[in-house]
Amino acid sequence: PGTSTVEELFAGVKKGIYIKDISHGSGMSTFTIAPTKAYMIRDGKIAEPVKVSVISGNVMHTLGQIDGLNDKTEYLSFAVGGCGKMEQFPLPVGFGGPYMRVNGIQVL
């Protein structure tokens, strides 16, 4: 993990989007993530909810766009479902990690 608190990560954002929860994602060298809860960040503060259909990008490029990491990690698992990639369903999956601040990611 990094060294920033969540508040410090948000404080560095003039205008951005905070993705709170996701329903699913997929990827290999490129990725897509479908958020279920997202909020605008304005001048470092969480503001109104926004609708985000998909976040996507090239994995290696996006990793290079990370400019801040939280000092704690959180891991979650899906109780139902699983990975369906390459006929693996229902391979159990989980997700998580630190909060991160990413510049220039594609948001639709």
Taking the domains of the chain in order of start, what are their residue ranges? Answer: 6-103
Q: Can you tell me whether residue 18 is helix, strand or coil? A: strand
What is the three-class DSSP state of 98? coil
Separation CA 34–CA 38 (nearest Å): 10
pLDDT string in tens for the chain (108-residue length): 789 999 999 998 999 999 998 877 778 899 998 999 999 999 999 999 999 999 999 999 999 999 999 988 888 766 556 776 777 777 777 778 899 999 988 898
The pTM assigned to this predicted structure is 0.80
